[in-house]
Amino acid sequence: MTDHHEVPVKVNAWVDEGIADLVAALSELEGLITLESCQGDVGRHDAFVIFRYGDWHQCGNSRQRQRSWAQPL
């Protein structure tokens, strides 16, 4: 795996600089916990964020929540 330059974000964790803004934005969502992330490498592997948000019963169950997800960050 390639080493990436990491920067601190609000969640008190070090993340790859190229994905830090997304992880910081996700940390603003109450109840969302980022577990792992990687900015990826062009031509080698995609970027990803693994997170936990509630349980499978709650995830996407509310029409209001679905509408709020459609709004740009």
Tokens of 37: 């992330």
Higher pLDDT, 63 or 22: 22
Q: What is the pLDDT of residue 8?
A: 58
Instruction: Identify the pLDDT of residue 27.
Output: 86
Q: Identify the bridge partners of residue 8 per DSSP, sorted by sequence position.
A: 14
Which distant-in-sequence residues (6+ apart) come within 8 Å of 67 by Cβ?
Answer: none
